[in-house]
Structure 1
Amino acid sequence: MTELLVGLIIGIFIMFIVVNINKTKKKRSLKLVQEAVPAELACRIPEGLPIISRLENSLNSEYMEKVKKRVLANHPSWTETDFNWRLFELKRYFLLAGILKSVPMFSDEVDEIWHEMIMFTKEYENFSKKFFGSFLHHSPNVERTPIPHERALFDWMYLHLFEIYPNSTKLWGGFLKNPLSKTLLEEVRSASDEKLFDKYFRSSDPIKPLQTKLLEQLKNDIEKAEEMKRQNKSLRKEIKTDDTYSMLLPAMVFLSLYEQDSYTEKMSQLLNKDAGTSGGSVYACGAALSDSNDHSGGSGCSSSGCSSSNCGSSCGGGCGSS
């Protein structure tokens, strides 16, 4: 009888441990700010507006209503605003995927909407061909291989194209945590536009003006970084209060070209400058660029929906069209 009682107690204890382990493994619920999504994807570049209009027109309203109903049924804790923000960021991703030949997916939360869109096979194919001109394949990166340079290019493109919001940071897991590829920057500096377009950009006449604008901007950021190097300027002093992003991104390029080994440390210093200094606005920007709730520790699409903070892992490696 005593042995039976001891066995029962041990069994209950083991079950208690298993239940608690499972609870800790459950996906954390991502709490988004309950505010309306901005219009026109809050695009910062005028050349992007016609493309956004074409993207919106490619998404059939009945199709997207079916996607919303399916997603909310599968996620009863989500509000309609939760869905809208994930879709908002997915549309931003689609714009990037229309610009570049290959764009990894860096967010489980955003990828959830994409996955549900694909479940409606015919509608997704129609959308894909209408906007991209070919089928945009979804290729989950099961191993979530670290791809920090790809994440850095994603960040550079994203921050030049779009205004950033707290929900953007939550869904993508923070920005500017990885350096750009030095090889890529040197190639942009020396190669012809024709070669760069052929290698990196999706062939699309309607999107060509936006692609050209972004390539010009990257070259401009490289020139600014070179000027900082020549004049031995302090990055901290170069960050201005009136136009933070215009200096943060050249600083990203500067550190990627000349100080890759100390990129993480020095970018972190720039993002967390004291609010009382002349560059005080960077502090607020830094709070937006780095999600304080991101504890993913390097997993690509973390349980909180944040993307890889430190190694740039992807949950949709390559996701370009074939």
Structure 2
Amino acid sequence: MAGIIKFFILFFVIAIAVAILIKKASKPRYLKIAEMTNLPPELGVNKNLHLEKRVQKLEASLPSEFKERLKRRYLSEHPKATEAYFEACFYELKRFFIMCSLLNNVLMFSKKVDAIWHEMLMYTKEYEKFSSDLCGEHIHHAPNDTVTPDPHGRAWFDLLYAKLFAFTEFTPVAWGTFFQNPLHPGLLEELRTLSVEDLSRRYFRENVDQDTVHALLTEIKNEIERFKKENDPYKGLKLSPTAIDSAPILAGAMLYYSYHHFDEYEGHMGKLNPANNYSGNSTACGSSCRNDNHDSSCSGDGGGSSCGSSCGGGCGSS
């Protein structure tokens, strides 16, 4: 009798272990990546851009109690999500808010990240205080059902994101494939010919830290000037699509091939990083944060069109 009981206990333990293994093996890839991703401190900002105080201000604007309530709500509304997945998406949302606090217009290109923003809006008092503490006014998020491709908007987002933040393993999971679209020739001409002061007035908020803006725009302008005089510095180079340290190289390649080979951009980027599909994909989704009266839209989750919602009014003074 004792032997039979031991057999059933052993069988029960093995069955549970097998069930756990099957569950882990069947876990979606994006959840697995979230669990293995190391999230750098201070949002992984570029140390040359003097963003540390802005990150500290953001963190101070998001009390731990608010975050924990938000996490509980999000996980209850999204039962398939894990705590690690929430943390990775929330990390990317905080990066998005940093961009909103710097720029006049920021499109949201991620359904995953936007979903947490939607949950934040349910806490009206806490969200209003967060917006006011970080930006001096409400960061609006208004629905927009129009689907309008915006590959050039996505390219501008990709360049700025790559200049501001270090990529993590979860970054392309959250935002989709980067650098699929070339920068618009008109934007490149502005970046090349306009002064840092003029570009700052055109694209950045009035009260933004000018040291940050000057460092960011000077880096981009210097890169464009260098590329004007160089033969293709990326010819024959092959990058691993899974290497997160490839992002700065791909950002530079996007600038170079947008400037010199706009019409053949996909082919050149495809040779540099053949595992990614450079087909001019313009699917994305989310919201925008802007300080004018125009709305942008989004759809999908990865390229350069927008759908879902827009952020009218933006976040003003810092």
Whole-Å Cα distance in 1 between the matches of residues 80 and 135 of structure 2?
A: 33
Does residue 260 of structure 2 align to residue 258 of structure 1? yes
Q: Residues 238 and 271 of structure 2 are in contact (CA less than 8 Å); yes or no, is this contact kept in structure 1?
A: no
In the TM superposition, 1:140-159 aligns within 5 A as 140-159=143-162
Task: State the Cα distance separating 1:193 from its structure 2 match.
Answer: 2.4
Q: 1:170 to 1:131 in 2, by over 3 A?
A: same
Q: Residues 146 and 313 of structure 1 are in contact (CA less than 8 Å); yes or no, is this contact kept in structure 2?
A: yes
Whole-Å Cα distance in 1 between the matches of residues 53 and 183 of structure 2?
A: 28
Does residue 204 of structure 2 align to residue 201 of structure 1? yes
Cross-structure match for 2:176:
173
Cross-structure match for 1:279:
none
Task: State the Cα distance separating 1:253 from its structure 2 match.
Answer: 1.2
Task: State the Cα distance separating 1:250 from its structure 2 match.
Answer: 2.7
Whole-Å Cα distance in 2 between the matches of residues 147 and 129 of structure 1?
A: 29
Code of the residue aligned with 2:211 in structure 1: it is P
Q: Residues 171 and 306 of structure 1 are in contact (CA less than 8 Å); yes or no, is this contact kept in structure 2?
A: no
Cross-structure match for 1:94:
97
TM-score, length of structure 2 as denominator length: 0.76
- Residue of 300, 318, 322 corresponding to 2:284: 300
Task: State the Cα distance separating 1:316 from its structure 2 match.
Answer: 3.8
Task: State the Cα distance separating 1:44 from its structure 2 match.
Answer: 2.5
The Cα RMSD (Å) is 3.0
Q: 1:62 to 1:116 in 2, by over 3 A?
A: same
Code of the residue aligned with 1:104 in structure 2: it is L
Cross-structure match for 1:31:
31
Cross-structure match for 2:83:
80
Segments of structure 2 that go 5 or more residues without pairing to the other structure are 1-27, 287-298
Task: State the Cα distance separating 1:245 from its structure 2 match.
Answer: 4.8
In the TM superposition, 1:44-59 aligns within 5 A as 44-46=46-48, 47-59=50-62
Specify the SS of the correspondent of 1:321.
coil
Q: 1:308 to 1:115 in 2, by over 3 A?
A: same
Code of the residue aligned with 2:181 in structure 1: it is N
Task: Answer 1 or 2: which has greater strand percent.
Answer: 2
Segments of structure 1 that go 5 or more residues without pairing to the other structure are 1-27, 273-286
Whole-Å Cα distance in 2 between the matches of residues 268 and 318 of structure 1?
A: 34
Task: State the Cα distance separating 1:234 from its structure 2 match.
Answer: 4.7
Q: Residues 137 and 321 of structure 1 are in contact (CA less than 8 Å); yes or no, is this contact kept in structure 2?
A: yes
Task: State the Cα distance separating 1:111 from its structure 2 match.
Answer: 0.2
Cross-structure match for 2:293:
none
Does residue 43 of structure 2 align to residue 65 of structure 1? no
Specify the SS of the correspondent of 1:142.
strand
Q: Residues 139 and 311 of structure 2 are in contact (CA less than 8 Å); yes or no, is this contact kept in structure 1?
A: no
Task: State the Cα distance separating 1:208 from its structure 2 match.
Answer: 2.4
Task: State the Cα distance separating 1:131 from its structure 2 match.
Answer: 0.7
Q: Residues 300 and 307 of structure 2 are in contact (CA less than 8 Å); yes or no, is this contact kept in structure 1?
A: no
Q: 1:69 to 1:166 in 2, by over 3 A?
A: same
Q: Residues 192 and 224 of structure 2 are in contact (CA less than 8 Å); yes or no, is this contact kept in structure 1?
A: yes
Specify the SS of the correspondent of 1:213.
helix
Specify the SS of the correspondent of 2:106.
coil
Cross-structure match for 1:137:
140
Cross-structure match for 2:45:
43
Task: State the Cα distance separating 1:32 from its structure 2 match.
Answer: 4.2
Q: 1:271 to 1:306 in 2, by over 3 A?
A: farther
TM-score, length of structure 1 as denominator length: 0.75
